[in-house]
Amino acid sequence: MNPGSVHADENVARLLITCADQPGIISAVSTFLYHHGANITDFDQHTSDLRDGRFFLRLEFQLPGLQQNLDSLRTTFSERVAAQYRMEWSLTPSSEKKRMALMVSRHDHVLMELLWRTMRGDLPAVIPMVISNHDDLRGEVERFGIPYHHIPVQGDDKAAAEKKALELLDGQADLVVLARYMQILSPDFVAAYPQRIINIHHSFLPAFVGANPYQRAWERGVKLIGATSHYVTEDLDQGPIIEQNVARVSHRNSAEDLKRLGQDVEREVLLRAVRCHLEDRVIVHGNKTIVFVK
Amino acid sequence: MNPGSVHADENVARLLITCADQPGIISAVSTFLYHHGANITDFDQHTSDLRDGRFFLRLEFQLPGLQQNLDSLRTTFSERVAAQYRMEWSLTPSSEKKRMALMVSRHDHVLMELLWRTMRGDLPAVIPMVISNHDDLRGEVERFGIPYHHIPVQGDDKAAAEKKALELLDGQADLVVLARYMQILSPDFVAAYPQRIINIHHSFLPAFVGANPYQRAWERGVKLIGATSHYVTEDLDQGPIIEQNVARVSHRNSAEDLKRLGQDVEREVLLRAVRCHLEDRVIVHGNKTIVFVK
Amino acid sequence: MNPGSVHADENVARLLITCADQPGIISAVSTFLYHHGANITDFDQHTSDLRDGRFFLRLEFQLPGLQQNLDSLRTTFSERVAAQYRMEWSLTPSSEKKRMALMVSRHDHVLMELLWRTMRGDLPAVIPMVISNHDDLRGEVERFGIPYHHIPVQGDDKAAAEKKALELLDGQADLVVLARYMQILSPDFVAAYPQRIINIHHSFLPAFVGANPYQRAWERGVKLIGATSHYVTEDLDQGPIIEQNVARVSHRNSAEDLKRLGQDVEREVLLRAVRCHLEDRVIVHGNKTIVFVK
Amino acid sequence: MNPGSVHADENVARLLITCADQPGIISAVSTFLYHHGANITDFDQHTSDLRDGRFFLRLEFQLPGLQQNLDSLRTTFSERVAAQYRMEWSLTPSSEKKRMALMVSRHDHVLMELLWRTMRGDLPAVIPMVISNHDDLRGEVERFGIPYHHIPVQGDDKAAAEKKALELLDGQADLVVLARYMQILSPDFVAAYPQRIINIHHSFLPAFVGANPYQRAWERGVKLIGATSHYVTEDLDQGPIIEQNVARVSHRNSAEDLKRLGQDVEREVLLRAVRCHLEDRVIVHGNKTIVFVK
């Protein structure tokens, strides 16, 4: 009966499921959990014929002795329920903090927010490292006791730089967050962390895809500017959108103002997207996300 | 696999449940539905220990031949599931439009919105009548073919006026909406429609309880004005809140402006609250609401 | 000292000015008005070097006997102030209602809002006529006592249809509002009403330029949908933006839901854009607008 | 022609004026500035008869050699313009950073935001000191190189504690910001910094005046929670409101969640209020503020 707050009860877990829809799935899942002594405390499910009858579910349950029984629970669930419905699924204890590596260039605003939130226990994560193509933010990062790796990216050594980053990340990160990292990742890099690289784009996608969105927004005379957080795919700025928001601007605001105002939106949007991912609230289907908002 | 749109499939129904929480409820409900041939397409459940372990559920399911089997489904569910868990519950076909009586004084803005939305099929309701303590809006109402009853309320004939209104409503209304009805209803009237009278208050409750909220908001110099829709109880402006919203104002706005801007908020907030009620998205528990937002 | 409310004082006027910036303009304008007995009650000015030193001003003033002195005031202002600074300017009594012709196809939601607002005195306009390429909405329009002209547009008679519309509008309209008019206007038509045709586009421009924006927004999986009101220019969906807004959507919303939710945003955004134009709050400069918001 | 960005041009200044309204004020002010070689780049004025004909003005101007001529400009303006109209006024160079002392108890969220923004040059202020009734946040503050004064407040030594704080502040602060300082200031303390102490209250005032607003908001079942920044006066939570905002909450949110979500609103609202004050955008009149928003 835990409401799923940030301060996770060690006996609480989250189950994410997607599969082709058919009658009986909820009965099968909930009966399985009941027979294993679990009490479901939050259950959010949706099926849409517009998505060719796809079933999406996130639930939280409380189970005394969760930690000791986790392996057997996963095995049994896999055999008795998941296999029958060909589910893609994950079962994650709420107390398990994901390892979130950060990549950044020179802008500090979203980096600082993620560092500060994580360090004060407001985000359920640990930060194993920060990787940057510049050395500017080393001091800010290291004072939190977090390793800072400077990997310059210049001209034709981009492949070497990515190789070095992948080696550092190997086995150390469940998630990579691009906190205004101004380099385009290669398909190989992306493939190493499918649906586990989150980017913040400084426009309301799909408007202003590409470079200099604030300048272009100012030139177009929009009345709202925005930011978009999405999973990174091979196609630049085209990955599944997790979260977006906007802020109102006026003719009194210069292009420089838009950039400053936009940074606050970026900060807020990336934080919300990362929080949803860390709390296992996101399922990716095709190029879209299902986000089970609290 | 119907996504639950306004255009209701005749084989879709909604089930609302609340009871004390315990393990096994979801299993019992979903297995019951599965065995009766239903496919659950949307399932939203929450339990909170902060509300002393109360279980709240709204689900939608699709069942071929729903209409013919509705009575037996209700009876069987009552006997086999609801009784065991001491549930308060309702099972409602999505195609069943609620009868929504409107009460209004002189302001037309929310009345017109509800009339217009209902008539164009945008709200799943029928409007059996409009009751007013003034005759001003008769023309607007009657041109939609809806009966308009003028029941003046003056001095000590308030009890008689209420009696007349209750007689008109008797057996004709599932829901009474106070669309800026400027009379306080007696406890007897309220008791006749428990959790079925919806009011719109022109402030962000609990700020500015009582009369003249816009004038008082202007005098206090607030930067946002609001509106609140709530179920009517015996205590004025104290009933369970269904929906609220705000709008930004500035020093350039006079008290008269606040009233005009606020009317747009009232219109939007009451519409959303009424829509939630009509789509069976609201459970009242104590003096609070659980609203299963789409 | 009138606060500029909708209920216009007959002695209140608005002055809109734009010109190249240089010192002394405000002194010249305000001293001119002072010497003519006017009291300025609201003054909103902005200059931006980013717009190559362009001066933009909207002010309201109160002048006893305004109506009798309007012609001489305009003449004198033109000679003594405007000429010197090469101003583009307009001087408009607040009590003067603009004539707003509406063009519509089959969607009624923004049309009804504009009709209803205007008829109850909430928009400072008169509606001389509604022109439509369909006959569907005749009844709704005519019951307000407004002429409804059905001008079908089929195949190669588009030029003839436009010609007929222009003849009807000739001398009758200060402003043309496209209230979901689903035909593209020719450059000749647009040239007849420069910066005086307002359109509502059902997306957050520049995202989803062109047809079927809701379907495309649903396919892209955006988390906010929007609407944009802009002046019509020769370039489709590229004219100066007056107003925009967004609404939050989720995976529970079908493409059909997006359309329904978006219609409410369209209604609100067009209303605000039209109100700004009617209250002389908009200056167009290049492909952008300066909107002096209340 | 500087647009008034944060990165202040040393030749730009701001003039704030309020007085009883009468014709000719704008002419007098703008002509004075013109004759002294200034170019007005932003001018925002409003008069309201509802506020008994009070005149409010904020303008920005550019004047070559501002710094050298500031004293004589002030003297001359005082004699030739301000005296005649009995103006309350201030003339402030945009490049002049206000000294902002912070007082805090144990919550770090708004303190960190103000520190971080100021240190990166995003707020035009310097922070001479932080005063706290607890020692918890010393490390966070001192690493920015800012003096941290721990002044415990216990039982009957409150007067002594305030005396000590006033001595520390004396001559060092233009502004005192209560960044979640959980002590009520005495009338004497308030009188020492009239209209220069800014507080953040963790509710949407006037709702939930007093203690524990989040718990009370949760119990009332509101659908939006808010925060309010206001100038401190003798009357607790009753001072002139500078800024407010809200965030949406649902039945899934516990009282603890409301507190966490509310902290983000507090942070944003206090930041905006402080920024307005620092940029000389606020005039207090009676118990209300006129805020000239960018």
Beta-strand (E) ranges in C179-258? 197-201, 224-231, 241-248
Task: Report the C-alpha gap between C91 and A12 in whole angstroms.
Answer: 68
Q: Name the token pair of A116.
A: 């500060």
Band of pLDDT at residue D108, cut at 50, 70 and 90: very high
Task: Report the C-alpha gap between A44 and B294 in whole angstroms.
Answer: 11
Residue with tokens 């945009």: D94
- Burial string for D50-87 (b: 16+ CB within 10 Å, else e) reads bbeebbbbbbbbbbeebeeebeebeeebeeebbeebeb
Q: Under an 8 Å CB criterion, which residues of C touch B?
A: 3-6, 42, 108, 112, 116, 120, 122, 143, 250, 252-254, 256-257, 260, 294
Q: What is the reported pLDDT for B261?
A: 95
- Partner residue opposite D50 with nearest CB, options C3, C23, C44: C3
Best of A251, A272, A282 to disrupt the C interface (most C CBs within 10 Å) is: A251
Q: What is the reported pLDDT for B294?
A: 84
Q: What is the mean pLDDT of chain A?
A: 93
The pLDDT of C113-127, averaged and rounded, is 96
Closest to A97 (Cα-Cα) out of A119, A113, A77, A112: A119
Phi and psi angles of residue D132, each rounded to the nearest 5 degrees, phi first: -140, 150
Band of pLDDT at residue C8, cut at 50, 70 and 90: low
Q: What is the ipTM of this complex?
A: 0.92
Secondary structure (3-state) at C125: strand
D195: burial class by Cβ within 10 Å (0-12, 13-18, 19+)? middle
Q: Are D172 and D147 in contact (CB under 8 A)?
A: no
Q: What is the reported pLDDT for D50?
A: 46
- Cβ atoms within 10 A of the Cβ of C92, count? 14
D201-211 per-position pLDDT tens digit: 999 999 999 88
- Partner residue opposite A253 with nearest CB, options D112, D143, D294: D294
Band of pLDDT at residue A236, cut at 50, 70 and 90: confident
Task: Report the C-alpha gap between B200 and B132 in whole angstroms.
Answer: 16
The pLDDT of B142-152, averaged and rounded, is 96
Q: Are A100 and A274 in contact (CB under 8 A)?
A: yes
| Most confidently predicted of B40-49, C96-105, D203-212 | C96-105
Residue with tokens 């001209």: A155
Largest CA distance in chain A: 63
Task: Report the C-alpha gap between A1 and A151 in whole angstroms.
Answer: 46
The pLDDT of B74-94, averaged and rounded, is 97
Cβ separation A252–D6 shorter than 8 A: no
CB-CB neighbors (< 8 A) of D208 in chain B:
206
Q: Does residue B205 surpass a pLDDT of 50?
A: yes
End-to-end Cα spacing for chain A:
15
- Quick one: which H or E segment has residue C202? none
**For residue B42, which amino acid is it?**
D
Of residues A272 and D1, which shows the higher confidence score?
Answer: A272
CB-CB neighbors (< 8 A) of A119 in chain D:
none
B207-265 per-position pLDDT tens digit: 999 889 999 999 999 999 999 999 999 998 999 999 999 999 999 999 999 999 999 99
Q: Does residue D146 surpass a pLDDT of 70?
A: yes
Cβ separation B39–A48 shorter than 8 A: no
Beta-strand (E) ranges in C21-73? 39-48, 54-62
D228-238 per-position pLDDT tens digit: 999 999 998 99
Q: Name the token pair of B230.
A: 């709530």
Q: Are D165 and D103 in contact (CB under 8 A)?
A: yes
Distance of CA C8 to the CA centre of its chain: 19
Q: Name the token pair of A174.
A: 């469940």
Ranges A104-118, A256-270, C5-19, C215-229: which has the least confidence:
C5-19
Domains of chain B and any CATH numbers = 12-93 (3.30.70.260), 98-291 (3.40.50.170)
Q: Are B242 and B289 in contact (CB under 8 A)?
A: yes
Task: Report the C-alpha gap between B146 and B140 in whole angstroms.
Answer: 9
What residues have CB less than 8 Å from A14, skipping those under 6 apart? A58, A59, A60, A90, A91, A92, A93, A94, A279, A280
Q: Name the token pair of C97.
A: 């209602």
B104-145 per-position pLDDT tens digit: 999 999 999 999 999 999 999 999 999 999 999 999 999 999
Task: Report the C-alpha gap between B232 and B250 in whole angstroms.
Answer: 32
Output DSSP code: residue B23: T
The pLDDT of D195-222, averaged and rounded, is 94
A154-168 per-position pLDDT tens digit: 877 889 999 999 999
Secondary structure (3-state) at B162: helix
Q: How far is D175 from chain B (nearest CA, A)?
A: 22
Pairing of strands D98-104, D125-126: parallel
Q: Does residue D4 surpass a pLDDT of 50?
A: no
Instruction: Count the alpha carbons within 13 Å of C233 in the hemisphere toward its beta carbon.
Output: 11
Task: Report the C-alpha gap between C16 and C45 in whole angstroms.
Answer: 10
Q: What is the mean pLDDT of chain B?
A: 93
Q: What is the reported pLDDT for A24?
A: 95
Band of pLDDT at residue C49, cut at 50, 70 and 90: low
Q: Does residue A72 surpass a pLDDT of 60?
A: yes
Q: Name the token pair of B257.
A: 């402006």
Task: Report the C-alpha gap between B126 and B118 in whole angstroms.
Answer: 7
Kindly list the partner chains of chain A, i.e. chains with 3 or more CB atom pairs below 8 Å: B, C, D
CB-CB neighbors (< 8 A) of C50 in chain A:
254-255
Q: Does residue C50 surpass a pLDDT of 70?
A: no
Q: Are A245 and A226 in contact (CB under 8 A)?
A: yes
D6: burial class by Cβ within 10 Å (0-12, 13-18, 19+)? middle
B52: burial class by Cβ within 10 Å (0-12, 13-18, 19+)? exposed
Band of pLDDT at residue B8, cut at 50, 70 and 90: low
Q: How far is A17 from chain D (nearest CA, A)?
A: 21
Q: How far is D115 from chain C (nearest CA, A)?
A: 31
Q: What is the reported pLDDT for B60?
A: 96
Secondary structure (3-state) at C140: helix
Distance of CA D157 to CAs D137, D154, D161, D164, D197, Å?
A: 22, 6, 6, 11, 22
Beta bridge partners of D291: D282
Q: Does residue B274 surpass a pLDDT of 90?
A: yes
Q: Under an 8 Å CB criterion, which residues of A touch D?
A: 3-7, 42, 108, 112, 116, 120, 122, 143, 250, 252-254, 256-257, 260, 294
Of how many residues is chain B composed? 294
Q: Does residue C242 surpass a pLDDT of 50?
A: yes
Q: What is the mean pLDDT of chain C?
A: 93
Ranges A239-253, D47-61, D204-218: which has the least confidence:
D47-61
Instruction: Count the alpha carbons within 13 Å of D8 in the hemisphere toward its beta carbon.
Output: 23
Percent of chain B beyond pLDDT 70? Answer: 96
Secondary structure (3-state) at B125: strand
Q: Are A72 and B58 in contact (CB under 8 A)?
A: no
Closest to B246 (Cα-Cα) out of D215, D247, C249: D247
Q: Are B19 and B90 in contact (CB under 8 A)?
A: no
- Cβ atoms within 10 A of the Cβ of C90, count? 13
Q: What is the mean pLDDT of chain D?
A: 93
Kindly list the partner chains of chain B, i.e. chains with 3 or more CB atom pairs below 8 Å: A, C, D
Q: Does residue A174 surpass a pLDDT of 90?
A: yes
Q: Are A57 and A44 in contact (CB under 8 A)?
A: yes
Task: Report the C-alpha gap between D118 and D271 in whole angstroms.
Answer: 10
Q: Does residue A3 surpass a pLDDT of 60?
A: no
Q: Is C212 left (phi over 0), alpha (psi -120 to 50) or beta?
A: left
**For residue A200, which amino acid is it?**
I
What residues have CB less than 8 Å from D269, skipping those under 6 apart? D200, D227, D228, D229, D243, D244, D245
Active-site residue numbers of B? 237
Q: What is the reported pLDDT for A52?
A: 64
Band of pLDDT at residue C155, cut at 50, 70 and 90: confident
- Partner residue opposite C251 with nearest CB, options A46, A226, A245: A46
Largest CA distance in chain C: 63
**For residue B133, which amino acid is it?**
N
- Quick one: which H or E segment has residue D57? strand D54-62
- Partner residue opposite D45 with nearest CB, options C22, C42, C48: C42
Task: Report the C-alpha gap between D43 and C23 in whole angstroms.
Answer: 13
Closest residue in chain A to residue D143, using alpha carbons only: A143
Cβ separation D5–A254 shorter than 8 A: yes
Residue with tokens 């509802």: D50
B66: burial class by Cβ within 10 Å (0-12, 13-18, 19+)? buried
Percent of chain D beyond pLDDT 90? Answer: 90
- Partner residue opposite A240 with nearest CB, options C205, C221, C246: C221
Q: What is the reported pLDDT for A35?
A: 97
Q: Name the token pair of D190.
A: 């308030």
Beta bridge partners of D59: D15, D43
Beta-strand (E) ranges in chain A? 12-20, 39-48, 54-62, 88-93, 98-104, 125-126, 130-132, 148-150, 175-178, 197-201, 224-231, 241-248, 282-285, 288-291
Band of pLDDT at residue D8, cut at 50, 70 and 90: low
Q: Name the token pair of C56.
A: 């933009």
Q: What is the reported pLDDT for B91?
A: 98
Pairing of strands D12-20, D54-62: antiparallel
